[in-house]
Amino acid sequence: MTRPPGSRPTVSAAGLALRYRGTRAVDDVTLRLTEGVTGLLGPNGAGKTTLLRILATATPPDNGAFTVLGHDPSTVRGRQDARGALGYLPQNPGFHPDFTAFEFIDYVAILKELTDRRTRHAEARRVLDAVGLADVRGKRIRKLSGGMRQRVALAAALVGDPKFLVLDEPTVGLDPEQRMRFRELIAEAGEGRTVLLSTHQTEDVAMLCHRVVVMDKGRVRFDGTAAELTAVADGRVWSSAERQPGARAGWRTGTGEFRNVGDPPAGARLVDPTLEDGYLLALGGDTPAEVAA
């Protein structure tokens, strides 16, 4: 049973900025996250990972401030407290291949300062159970499939029952079945927690997120509900026999007709928009054509 997302902000950021290799990777980002799953969408290089790293306290911002569950990570004490309350699944999580899944999670638990051995082991078993890896917890990670490893990484992020979960493209490289499994796990994780999910998959966002943030070129382009993002494309998606010159993006669908997103000509045959249409439009006028090609 799902709980309705909370409305009290758990993570607040104001004016976050970070330059990386001469570009503004994150540029004046202000956010207020609440309980539930928030999707972070954006093209490659939009600054999603950088923003996630800042919020996960892995990288300090050049400017701006943020709090995680009331802790201010700009102070040593606050950073430690914030880290104690968050779980992070990085974009390319590494593994210790000669550890078993259990040993790896136990190791992470120690680094999270869960010091009582029995409690820690119980927690390692709990999170491995939660991600469906109870049966393989004694297996060396090198012998696990890619999907299983990704679940180990999610289990590592869940250790200690963090109230803020930062997931950076957790479903990349997974097959559809594994992605489905992951969606379930993330949906479960979002109950009673604040989950920030960075992804390229608009379907994931549509299915999981009560709220969507779209980023491009380091800035927030959209911040609202999934329905609101879809609504951005209301009256701006139409079908035609040929690709329309006024379309910002267009592609031939399975029916043989073109689906166009942009500013429709008069008399165009409008169709119902999807969240992806809204996302494309939210990215603005310089949306890369390849996004929809």
- Binding residues for other proteins, per CB under 8 A? 53, 56-58, 80, 83-84, 86, 88-90, 92-97, 103, 106-108, 110-117, 119-120, 123, 126, 129-130, 132, 153, 156, 160-161, 177-178, 180-181, 184, 188
Instruction: Give Cα separations from 13 to 78, 102, 138, 282 (angstroms).
Output: 15, 35, 40, 21
Least Cβ distance, residue 43 to other proteins (angstroms): 22
Least Cβ distance, residue 202 to other proteins (angstroms): 20
Q: Which is nearer to other proteins, 12 or 80 (CB)?
A: 80
Q: Which is nearer to other proteins, 196 or 232 (CB)?
A: 196
Q: Which is nearer to other proteins, 55 or 282 (CB)?
A: 55
Least Cβ distance, residue 112 to other proteins (angstroms): 5
Place of tokens 């976050």: 16
Least Cβ distance, residue 131 to other proteins (angstroms): 9
Q: How many CA atoms lie within 13 A of 239 on its CB side?
A: 9
Q: Which is nearer to other proteins, 82 or 212 (CB)?
A: 82
CA dist., res. 124 & res. 127, Å (int): 5
Q: How many residues does the chain have?
A: 293
Residue 251 main-chain phi, psi, to 5 deg: -155, 150
Least Cβ distance, residue 200 to other proteins (angstroms): 19
Q: In the β-sheet with 219-224, what is the strand arrangement from edge to edge?
A: 86-89, 164-168, 194-199, 36-41, 211-216, 219-224
